[in-house]
Amino acid sequence: MRGGSAVAALGAAHALVNSRLVRTPPADPPPCREPVSLLVPARDEAHRIAPTLRSLLAQEGVPDLEVLVLDDGSTDGTADVVRAVGGDRVRVIAGDPPPPGLPGKPHACARLAAEARGRVLVFVDADVVLAPHAVAAAVHLLRSAGLDAVSPFPRQLADDAATRLVQPLLQWSWLVFLPLRLAERSPRESLCAANGQFFVIDAAALARCGGFGAVADAVLDDIALMRAVKRAGGRGAVADGSGVAECRMYRGWPEVAAGYEKSLWAATGSPVAAVALAAGLASAFVLPPLAALAGSRAGLLGYAAAVAGRVVAARRTGGRAWPDALAHPVSVGALLTLLARSWRARRAGALTWKSRPLHGSR
């Protein structure tokens, strides 16, 4: 019990340090003087891609900008929506299916990169809305920090019980556990974080690391690509992009469960690692508050530290701190449930995403 509470306290302290060290795109970036390609992979996104496109077309400070959307076999009229919103300012590319069992997004992104002419490639998911200065700011951060890739983590919009429980754990996890500046310098692939919702990469660096073809079987293609950049001798970093981008990934428990079920197994790599991670998270963030209910002072301190870490992460990344942070043990419990579901589906060969069977690797 004391050990778990100590881990929670160290995690809160580390989150506070990281909140001061994390890179942030500037609010008033200088104009971008190089060609940039905005690349959007889209499959059945007609219901939400219009705001994304409008935000891409409203970008400021990037005079040499192209917008490409790959329609990945959509059946809901996604391409029609793109053409209606973008007109001749957006080029729509008809995608071909990925090899059987492999995830579609790396395949779509590889095609987009092959079609792009920019020296900087900016991949944006169809559920992300960018601020007008987002691209110029992200490119400036990439160049000024001497990075080959940067992933500005969008503010995660969550307004129902399921998303408010689970989504904040995305930013919380890397602020609490990842030594951000060390991760930038270290060649260790395990020290990586990324979010493919908004991913900025130098085109030459993408070619050097093998491009999306090198991560064609990766379910978590964003993290796999950042690791590939490191293997090729490059530098990449996650950044706080809450001031330049926002994303509503899911609505309600069914969408949350389906989304995390398809990918959480890949985040742990093996059942043994998944059990070890679950045990560590439970001992630090679930057992102390349970012990506190039984009168344990050490448990109460551990719970308070966990709540503090969650508050730090929320305030730094544009999330909701109160009262959501008080439910942090429930959030971690929900995550562990999703992890178990993901591995169960993986072992049963039942993983799918957007109507496609999924047998990819990490």
Q: What is the DSSP string of 216-239?
A: TTBSSHHHHHHHHHHHTT--EEEE
Give the pLDDT confidence score for residue 1 in this predicted structure. 67
Beta carbons within 8 Å of 144's beta carbon, 6+ residues apart: none
Which has the closest alpha carbon to 293: 342, 265, 329? 329
Q: Which residues pair with 70 in a beta bridge?
A: 41, 93
Give the pLDDT confidence score for residue 362 in this predicted structure. 60
Degrees to nearest 5, angle at CA 151 with 54 and 361: 105
Cα(274)–Cα(278) distance, integer angstroms: 6
Give the pLDDT confidence score for residue 361 in this predicted structure. 66
Cα(268)–Cα(190) distance, integer angstroms: 11
Q: What is the pTM of this model?
A: 0.96
Cα(34)–Cα(200) distance, integer angstroms: 14
Give the pLDDT confidence score for residue 354 in this predicted structure. 85
For β-strands 356-357 and 352-353, DSSP reports them as antiparallel
The H or E element spanning position 42 is: strand 36-42
Give the pLDDT confidence score for residue 2 in this predicted structure. 80
Q: Which residues of 201-229 are buried (b: 16+ CB within 10 A; e: fewer)?
A: bbbebbebbebbebbbbbbbbbbbbbbbb
Give the pLDDT confidence score for residue 101 in this predicted structure. 83
100 CB-contact burial (10 Å; exposed 0-12 / middle 13-18 / buried 19+): exposed
Token representation of residue 152: 């500005």
Pick out the chain residues at pLDDT < 50: none
